[in-house]
Amino acid sequence: MTSTVIKESVATRTGTGRTKPGLFRNPWRHPWFLEGFTWVYLLWSLAPIAIAVLFSFNKGKSQSTYQGLSWRWYWGDKVNSIWYNPQLHSAMIETLKLSAYTTIIAVPLGVAFALGINRWRGFLPSSFNFLMILSFVVPELIFGVAMFFIFTQMPGLKDLGLGNIAEVLGLVTWNVSWPAIIVQARLVTIGKQYEEAAADLGATQLQTMRRVMLPLLMPAIFASAILVFSGVIDDFVIVDLLSSNATNTPMSVIIYSTQHGGNGGPALNALATVMLLMSFVVAGLGYLGYRLMTRGQRISGQQTLTAIAGAEN
């Protein structure tokens, strides 16, 4: 009886069954105010970004009057463009360095933490897992201030001082929860049958991890690396509190401090556009890479319900 109901529901919603028109009509599709509110929200959110990007191509120095299309603030101006201005140019390099270093350190730590929690049972690992999840609700400002006091007041660590090392350690501590949570979710969906099958075939734990588990976990590892890398690109609070001087200041801090001080110009719009483009490129590559890695592993909801219905027979 259950399988018959599921099959009929699948057939009805996919249009393959014989049902009366409008019987399963989506009640949320037709109200005009829902669609209108969505478009208003999108325009309100994207219009300022589009204006900022437009003025990054402004021929003049004004940020209020558009004076024509130009690449001046990207590389045309030999003094103030982001390619020739040493402060803006070093900010781009610093952002990429922080993103790369944080990803290289945080992702392996997060994967190791996820594997350990997945195999460790008891009160202590549950507490560690709770603390890892708790980091998602702790305000970044509080965390950044805490890290600032650690590197300026705590004996042993205050000798490191503020700068690149402090920024990387702070960003790694803040972002390590992403790979830990994502890989844990992947481990839950995989189950233990693959490890048990490899053990039955005589594989050691190291061989099982290298040849079985890591290939299965690779989509989750790749997705977490993309999240960490793109998250560090636009991080502001931690890097602002832990940076020491202009030589290790990333793009987000340069944009805020310069514009807030009233010394901004179209070059800052160009720098913000580059930062936005970096995020889009990383997200796009991550999406394409994840689709390629999980090709053949994704099934639709219709296939799932059909499989359940078949299993019920």
- List, in sequence order, every residue forming a beta bridge with 58; answer none if it has no partner: 69
Instruction: Confirm whether 241 is domain-assigned.
Output: yes
| Residue-by-residue pLDDT tens, the chain, 313 positions | 544 544 555 455 555 544 445 555 555 556 677 778 888 888 888 888 888 888 888 887 777 777 778 888 888 778 888 888 888 888 888 889 999 999 999 999 998 888 887 777 666 766 777 777 777 778 888 888 888 888 888 887 777 778 888 899 999 989 888 888 888 888 888 777 777 787 777 778 778 787 888 888 888 889 899 989 988 988 888 888 888 776 678 888 888 887 765 566 788 888 888 888 888 888 888 888 878 877 766 544 444 334 434 444 4
Q: Do 245 and 134 lie in a common domain?
A: yes
Instruction: Confirm whether 215 is domain-assigned.
Output: yes
Per the structure, how many domains does the chain have?
2
Q: Token pair of 121, please?
A: 């049972």
C-alpha–C-alpha distance, residues 106 and 259, integer Å: 31
C-alpha–C-alpha distance, residues 98 and 82, integer Å: 19
C-alpha–C-alpha distance, residues 81 and 266, integer Å: 9
Residue 81, class by beta-carbon neighbours within 10 Å (0-12 exposed, 13-18 middle, 19+ buried)?
Answer: buried
Q: Do 83 and 53 lie in a common domain?
A: no
Q: What is the pLDDT of residues 21-69, one digit of tens each?
A: 555 555 555 667 777 888 888 888 888 888 888 888 888 777 777 777 8
CATH of the domain at 183: 1.10.3720.10
Q: Do 53 and 199 lie in a common domain?
A: no
Instruction: Confirm whether 59 is domain-assigned.
Output: yes
Instruction: Confirm whether 132 is domain-assigned.
Output: yes
Instruction: Confirm whether 12 is domain-assigned.
Output: no
Q: What residues make up the domain containing 277?
A: 76-307
DSSP output for 67-111: --B--IIIIISTTTSTTT-HHHHHHHHHHHHHHHHHHHHHHHHHH
Instruction: Confirm whether 212 is domain-assigned.
Output: yes
